[in-house]
Amino acid sequence: MRRLLRCFLIFTGCTLFVSLAGAQDASSAITNALHEHDYQHAVEMAHAAIQQSPSDPRLCTLQGVALAAQGRKQEALSSFRSALKLAPDHLPALQQEAQLYYESNDLAAVPVLEHILRLQPGDPMSHAMIAVLDYKHGNCDAAVPHFAKTGDLLDSQLDGLHAYATCLVRLKRPDEAVEALQRAVRVQDDARERQVLASVQLMAHKPQDAISTLAPLVESGNADSQSLELAANAYEDARDTEKAVNSLRQAILLDPKNESLYLDFAYLSAAHQSFQVGINVVSDGINQQPAAAQLYFARGVLYVQIADYDKAEADLAKAYELEPNESLTAAAQGLLAVQQNDLDRAMRDVKGKLKSKPNDPLLLYVQADVLTQKGAEPGTPDFQLAMQSAKRAVALRPTLAAARAVLAKLYLDSGQNREAAEQCRKALEIAPKDQASLYRLIQALRKTGKTEQVPELLKRLAALRQESAKEQKQRSRFTLVEGEAQP
């Protein structure tokens, strides 16, 4: 928000100097020193003047401005508070105090800004500052009404418009976000701004508008792969499949290692039952990115659709081999902060917690899961500990689907396939969309020779992968908007 912040600095500074323009000679001399950036001299003159006129809030305010310019924030705040003790509604002191809090991203600015709004109802700058602070602290419900009262203040502030649009998207108000982003395009008409606008137009189910937004990029002949990918999504939503396919093919030619382009093509192929075409294109993607688990998932789904179940299973097995951490759940990540896959740290953490809570089912599950992720082998002490922990977690909380999923994997690894199938079925009763448990159930049935259910289970898994692909596409659009609004 640096550009928006500079605007606030200029605003509050100018207001202060204008309001003091007719002050006494001492005030004028201090103001001149501030204009000349002679801050130490300004501090000294202000201190001397306050000794002579201790009841003048303007002198305390000027002293605070000089101290703030030297980076002496706490002393500056003390000066502004002294001014406000003398005159609680002294606007320059309120503005400067709010500015210091705002620069530090401190919500203490909000009551000060609300005070300013009582003195100057509708002041767009105060509304904008409150809005940005609420946005930065994740409170979009509070931020949006203030953004709405900034008038045309944000019309030259790209960061502010992005923050406003992001909050509206978070609140599921994409139509209003589109309006904010159209203003952003008027500020800076470039590829990135048009991509963000088109993404939100797609969220708002306005594919024709997204096509129009992207047209200057696509029709120029110099479009990048991201613009072409968005255009393909817009064409598909507008039911112009031929243009969607052509746009995706162009994007792949420009960026042949971009995994998401092949995934989009797979989704498009499945939607229009062009399964073999999709398989061929995704195979090209695998040739480019042989370690991309999601591409094997996508091709496996397409193989299911043409009833080539052996190839489907082979691709799904490869995908799970490449992404073994897919079973590491959000619960474990939140509890143990293992977002960076620091499993050793996770193990130390969970063992420490189990000392005080030895019968906590979630902790026991996480211990089993982490040991599994670390590659515990059957017959080893770690594997035995993982098995004991998973069984104990299930016994303590039978509805903990994630624990049953881990227990199923442990049974599979130890050759107890019937038990694995049983745990998978119970996990799926609790969490029907658990793809890992569904896949392991297929594995377990294969190993026990009970394969009659496998084709239907593969179809079910394929449907879940398609649903995940659709959700991922929506998340990608939102991520594009969020990325433009980072403080």
The model carries a pTM of 0.70
pLDDT for the residue 18: 37
Shared domain check, 311 and 353: no
The domain total for the chain is 4
pLDDT for the residue 346: 75
246 domain-assigned: no
151 domain-assigned: yes
pLDDT digit string (tens) for 321-375?
887 655 444 344 434 444 345 677 778 878 888 888 898 888 898 899 889 888 8
pLDDT digit string (tens) for 35-73?
999 999 999 999 999 999 999 999 999 999 999 999 999
Shared domain check, 462 and 446: no
105 domain-assigned: yes
pLDDT for the residue 477: 66
Shared domain check, 433 and 345: yes
343 domain-assigned: yes
180 domain-assigned: no
176 domain-assigned: no
Could you tell me the CATH number of the domain that includes residue 473? 1.25.40.10
Shared domain check, 426 and 313: no
pLDDT for the residue 24: 54
318 domain-assigned: yes
What is the residue range of 193's domain? 189-239
Which of 239, 274, 300 terminates a domain? The answer is: 239
Which of 137, 170, 203 terminates a domain? The answer is: 170
Shared domain check, 391 and 284: no
Shared domain check, 212 and 334: no
Shared domain check, 261 and 278: yes
Shared domain check, 287 and 426: no
pLDDT under 50 in the chain at which residues?
1-23, 327-340
Shared domain check, 218 and 270: no
Shared domain check, 342 and 304: no
Shared domain check, 352 and 288: no
pLDDT for the residue 486: 55
Shared domain check, 212 and 109: no
State the Cα–Cα distance between residues 270 and 305, nearest whole angstrom: 8
